[in-house]
Amino acid sequence: MKRLSLSIKNSLLLILFVLSALVLASSLVAWLAFSRVSSTQELLLNTSLPTIRLADSAVKTGTELLNIGLALSQPLSVDELVSYQNRIRPLVDQINSDMQAVSLALPESVEFQSFSVSQQQLISTINNQILAQQDYISNNQRLENEILRIQALIDGALIRVKLISTDISLRIANLTDKQGKFLYFQLAGIQELRFILQ
């Protein structure tokens, strides 16, 4: 077999062409890879990232609502209840707008639908807790008013007992011995009633 002999000039040209072809091929592969990375990055930035941010915002808002729900499980004053109601309104609006935006971005996501249902249940539970707190405060105020009314009646009864006791003491001084003993026992019963009322 005859060996093909190339001159140095031809060998250098052949090597240059082979290297140029390899550089061109690797550049084409790199361009396709960067194009794919760019399209994936664009998809992430334009679609997935805003959806993730909205979902994260909904989770944070839901967590804050959950903390308020825990606080609403304790007896509150009127001022505290009003303060919590004022904090809840913007949170509910925020969570509803976040959930609506995510539902537009992920209309068929089962996980999101489940999350949305749990958020709506949390909002419903908080609304029920607010109503229960309002009933508690209303009942508490009625009870306090009833206690004040009963206290006024007791005070009035105590004043009457004192007047009767004073009147009886004055009459005892003017009575005979037999009448005095009878009246003394009645007075003792009235004094006992007075101590019971106190």
Q: How confident is the model at residue 23 (pLDDT cuts 50, 70, 90)?
A: very high
Q: How confident is the model at residue 71 (pLDDT cuts 50, 70, 90)?
A: confident
Residue-wise pLDDT tens digits, 155-170 = 887 788 777 777 767 6
Average pLDDT over every residue of 55-83: 84
What are the respective helix, strand and coil percentages of the chain, to the nearest 5? Answer: 90, 0, 10
> How far is residue 122's CA from residue 128's CA, in Å, rounded to a whole number?
10
Instruction: Report percent pLDDT > 70 for the chain.
Output: 84
Round the average pLDDT of the chain to a whole number and report it.
Answer: 81
Contact assessment for residue 126 and residue 72, using Cβ atoms and an 8 Å cutoff: yes
Q: Worst-scoring range by mean pLDDT, 66-75, 77-86, 129-138, 185-194?
A: 185-194
pLDDT value of residue 197: 61
Residue 86 tokens, joined: 């004022």
Contact assessment for residue 189 and residue 161, using Cβ atoms and an 8 Å cutoff: no
> How far is residue 114's CA from residue 102's CA, in Å, rounded to a whole number?
13
Q: Which of 88, 94, 197 is nearest to 153 (CA)?
A: 197
By the 10 Å C-beta count (0-12 exposed, 13-18 middle, 19+ buried), 88 is classed as buried
Q: What does the DSSP 8-state code read for residue 39?
A: H
Whether this model's pTM surpasses 0.75: no
> How far is residue 123's CA from residue 127's CA, in Å, rounded to a whole number?
6
Q: How confident is the model at residue 174 (pLDDT cuts 50, 70, 90)?
A: low
Contact assessment for residue 18 and residue 76, using Cβ atoms and an 8 Å cutoff: no
pLDDT value of residue 34: 92
Contact assessment for residue 123 and residue 65, using Cβ atoms and an 8 Å cutoff: yes
